[in-house]
Structure 1
Amino acid sequence: MGKISGIVSRMNQKESLDNYLARDNQLERTLTAKDLIMLGVGAVIGTGIFILPGTVSAQHTGPGIIISFILATLVCSTSALCYAEFSSALPIAGSAYSYGSVVFGELTGWILGWALVLEYMLSVAAVSSGWSAYFQSLLSGFGIHIPKALTGFYDPSHGTYFNLFAVLIVLLIAWILSFGLKSSVRINSIIVVIKIAIIILFVIVGFFYVKPSNWTPFLPFGTSGIFKGASLVFFAYLGFDCVSSSAAEVKNPKRNMPIGIFGTLIICTALYILVSIVLTGMVHYSRLDVSDPVAFALQVVGQGKLSGIISLGALAGMFTMMVTMIYSSSRLIYSIGRDGLLPKFLGKINSKNNIPKHSVIIVTIIIAFMGGFVSLSKLASLVNIGTLIAFTFISLGVIPLRKRKDIDNKDGFKVPLYPILPIVSTLLCLGLMTQLPAETWIIAIVWFIIGLVIYFGYGISHSKLNVNNKK
């Protein structure tokens, strides 16, 4: 009995903020609020902006998708408020993993880290496959065709063995990140600006072809369709939480972290709503249930030549999303290695350019393998459950965070309407989780069982927190 209580005690030990700050001091604080917004917009705005407004309006909302995006933003904003307080109070690497370790204890932190591993790596691998498909389409437009064996995941029955471009784009991004954060952020920011310019170009051109009659009826599926649409487009915002993973590399985090998180949400919401207004005004919503609704709308109004530019925007969108997610993945793995729950070499910082080189390499290998060889279509919904688990704990965690006397957030951001708003955010996240299919829950349970086996088989005995307490 005493042995069991000892294990429970070790699992629930809380890491000290001062210890984390001391371990992260090798990471260079170079990021500004503008850099954070660029990272956030880079992660959130991907191909979804060229697809979701069309398909969701056709199937569930009609032109009322504008309201769905507003509702989704309100739901997402409640979680964002909680993330903003955590990142202001705890300016450390690791996002929800580190926050959970400080506030709830080591096991909860591990579970949240394992959930984020699922979100970050799986989403990049899936997007790398999409990037490859778009790039191959672009090459075919110039008469360049790649051997079929190199165009998709391992599936000999269909003649594909290896997705070459999915692997190459992941390796390219890892190479860019290896030069250090400052250079990577600069490249990411340039491509984000190009991506936003292409979206604005579509909005401006499309505005001249808007017919108000296409917005009638505005709510063809009723209010239930609006709520269904909101639950679907909510996932268009996944990625804003990646901003918090960079807290240990941010100048003046108490000020800049909240600005980065809310700046990301405001810009992304504005772009999603503008595209939705113009798209449903150009073409009747009933015709938008296609794989490329934005390109289709341009062709309908006789602007087919702009479709190529939209493809470039999609490529740029996926590229910046992968930059942010690979960066966030490497910081997450670094944080877990820093604490000893994974091999300690993953928690080492390269003194030459102040990056966790080993964690970048491991993350790159895993993502490149999945993108190159594995079919991810059935696993994509796992990204949603991993994210919502993290959102739930962070929302709920604001309550014990406020009670901690050893954490000084006097001058930092605080969630308004405390404790009502954190509780509302928790309930909203749990509500969205109930909408996920049973298959997703089953696979997620298997994933977390694997995580617990790793924790109890390796992590708990190598944890720096437990090793130090034995001394």
Structure 2
Amino acid sequence: MAEPVLPKSRTPRAPRQIGLVACVAFGVGTTVGGGVFTLSGTAVNLAGPAAAVSYILAGIVMFLCALSFIVVSTRAGDGESGYAPVGTILGPFWRFIVMWAFYLNGATIIAYLVASFGDYFSEYFLPAAGTLTVALATTVLVTALNLGPTSLVARAETWIVGIKLGLLVLFSVWGLTELRPDDLDRPLPSGTGGIFSAAAMLFTAYTGFNVITNMAGSVKNPRKTVPRAIMLTILVSGLVYLGTVLAMTASGITRFTATGVSQAAETVMGAWGGVLVAFAACLSTFSGANANVLGASEIMLRMVARGDVPPALGRHTRNGHPYISVLLLGIITVLLVVLRDTAFVVSVANVAAIIAMIVVSVAAAVLGFRKWPGEGARLPLGPVIPILAVLAAAGQLPSLNPEAIVAGFFLTGFGAALYFARLYERGGAGTRAHASAQIDTLNTPLMKAARTGTIANSADPSGPRRRLPPEA
């Protein structure tokens, strides 16, 4: 696939910018997926009725980390991603580690989402196919979509978010009307330790908000819109999670399968409720997998533009889709799906997210010690909140699978080795230039999908857009 030569003259017109509603829709759409449809059942299996407490604890930890993200990302320049200030504060290597860790998180979450899709689709709509077959077929379909017209899914994203949230709210309200004090007064399956184990596993249920940080360069008035969108995404997602897990508790079921939300809906609402929730789960996990491929590919393009990874990973089709990165994500997804160990996959995703959160929170703490220099958000108490975020995020690690912790740090170390190897290499100027141009003009697949698939506000197209430095 030949890489096109970029035009030398013509100043690109300013693309449409993304508003608050669009940011929240994309953030919630990415966040509320497998974290509710599959992890809710696992959380109840671990913590019983106290699974609601686990979701609250995970939400508090992520809220602290999100505050760090806000003070860092709001210091990004025009056209930069929210990760760029980490390079200024701590150094380029740590900016790369954050981006690489989120790339790993996205890559592993894709596998978890297509596996969840396979569970619901095969059980409720096509039992003869089998979970693994459906999951692998879904991987192929999502990969193919991201090699071509991703706008087909992007155009439906707002509707998908509305449908799944509407059905989850219906199930939650219905279940809450059935909730009795005795439902909450059941023994904890794994004691109090199960609450913390579930909270550590649920950490990844809130990580979808980082897609808003990816889109910061395409957001209207990002210094105000990005913080509000991140907070609203976490709040809306947390309320959806709480309502769902309490409704599941009202079902009286004490041991859930991988399709736990539909299992509970059948008991609370009847067979029709189980099918409706399964339909919402399939929509949610499929669109979530597609969004994570877009987000991970966006991060890869930015790393290529900076020369942090081999330029071959940024090779693109004539339409600008980074096909090497997309195919790599597809291969990783197939390997993890075949592994058929959802708990391990989720734990590796959590380790990667925790590493990124710790680095960003350290950067925020440094800003706090420096009295919040430059423009951007500030936090009360100086570096205290970011330091608490570091401790809270690191405190999740002991509750995770030890093998997953080793795998997560190994894969992060592999990324670091790639980074240092690139310091001694040259080449790939054409691929890097194209990636930089896509970023400068906000013309990456993720940016186009976000503007196509959600409500956007039009920027003034009359003025020229200046060329931005190829900062990640």
Same fold (TM over 0.5): yes
What is the match of residue 454 of structure 2? none
Indicate how the Cα distance of structure 1 residues 391 and 28 shifts in structure 2: closer, same or farther if over 3 A, else same.
farther
Q: Does 1:86 align with 2:58?
A: no
Deviation sequence 1:56-106 (CA, Å, 0-9, x none): 23332x32222222222111100000111122111554444x333222112
What is the match of residue 322 of structure 1? 289
In the TM superposition, 1:38-117 aligns within 5 A as 38-60=25-47, 62-91=48-77, 92-96=79-83, 98-117=84-103
1:391 match: secondary structure: helix
Alignment match of 2:303 (pick from 303, 321, 336): 336
Q: Does 1:455 align with 2:442?
A: no
Q: Distance in 2 between matches of 1:408 and 1:314?
A: 43
Q: Does 1:32 align with 2:19?
A: yes
Following superposition, the deviation at residue 265 of structure 1 comes to: 0.4
Following superposition, the deviation at residue 30 of structure 1 comes to: 1.5
Q: Distance in 1 between matches of 2:315 and 2:46?
A: 49
Deviation sequence 1:14-58 (CA, Å, 0-9, x none): xxxxxxxxxxx9984611111111111111111331333333233
Alignment match of 2:117 (pick from 119, 131, 146): 131
Q: Distance in 2 between matches of 1:278 and 1:140?
A: 26
- Structure 2 unmatched ranges of 5 or more: 1-11, 433-468
Q: Distance in 1 between matches of 2:291 and 2:219?
A: 15
Q: Are the aligned partners of 1:282 and 1:297 in contact in 2 as well (CA < 8 Å)? A: yes
Q: Does 1:297 align with 2:270?
A: no
Task: Normalising by structure 2, report the TM-score.
Answer: 0.77
What is the match of residue 204 of structure 1? 173
1:73 match: secondary structure: helix
Deviation sequence 1:296-326 (CA, Å, 0-9, x none): 2233346012211111111122123223312
Alignment match of 1:367 (pick from 322, 329, 332): 329
In the TM superposition, 1:11-22 aligns within 5 A as none
Indicate how the Cα distance of structure 1 residues 407 and 174 shifts in structure 2: closer, same or farther if over 3 A, else same.
farther
**Which region of structure 1 is more displaced relative to structure 2, 441-450 or 70-79?**
441-450
Count of matched residue positions in the alignment of Structure 1 and Structure 2: 414
Q: Are the aligned partners of 2:262 and 2:274 in contact in 1 as well (CA < 8 Å)? A: yes
Q: Are the aligned partners of 2:35 and 2:204 in contact in 1 as well (CA < 8 Å)? A: no
Q: Are the aligned partners of 2:75 and 2:85 in contact in 1 as well (CA < 8 Å)? A: no
What is the match of residue 167 of structure 1? 140
Alignment match of 1:399 (pick from 365, 369, 393): 365
What is the match of residue 381 of structure 2? 417
Deviation sequence 1:256-304 (CA, Å, 0-9, x none): 00011001000001111111222212315xx233333322223334601
In the TM superposition, 1:140-289 aligns within 5 A as 140=126, 145-146=128-129, 151=133, 163-173=136-146, 175-177=148-150, 179=151, 185-217=154-186, 223-283=192-252, 287-289=254-256
Indicate how the Cα distance of structure 1 residues 139 and 53 shifts in structure 2: closer, same or farther if over 3 A, else same.
closer
Deviation sequence 1:110-138 (CA, Å, 0-9, x none): 22222222111221133223324433445
- Structure 1 unmatched ranges of 5 or more: 1-24, 154-162
Following superposition, the deviation at residue 363 of structure 1 comes to: 2.7
**Which region of structure 1 is more displaced relative to structure 2, 260-269 or 70-79?**
70-79
2:170 match: secondary structure: helix
Q: Distance in 2 between matches of 1:129 and 1:230?
A: 21
Supply the RMSD in Å over aligned alpha carbons: 3.4
Q: Are the aligned partners of 2:115 and 2:132 in contact in 1 as well (CA < 8 Å)? A: no
Q: Are the aligned partners of 1:42 and 1:321 in contact in 2 as well (CA < 8 Å)? A: yes
Q: Does 1:310 align with 2:292?
A: no
Following superposition, the deviation at residue 186 of structure 1 comes to: 4.2
Q: Which has the larger radius of gyration?
A: 1
What is the match of residue 441 of structure 1? 405
Q: Distance in 2 between matches of 1:188 and 1:204?
A: 24
Q: Distance in 1 between matches of 2:64 and 2:297?
A: 27
Following superposition, the deviation at residue 392 of structure 1 comes to: 0.1
Alignment match of 2:374 (pick from 408, 411, 414): 408
In terms of fraction of residues, the more helix-rich structure is 1
Q: Are the aligned partners of 2:365 and 2:384 in contact in 1 as well (CA < 8 Å)? A: no
Q: Distance in 2 between matches of 1:349 and 1:259?
A: 34
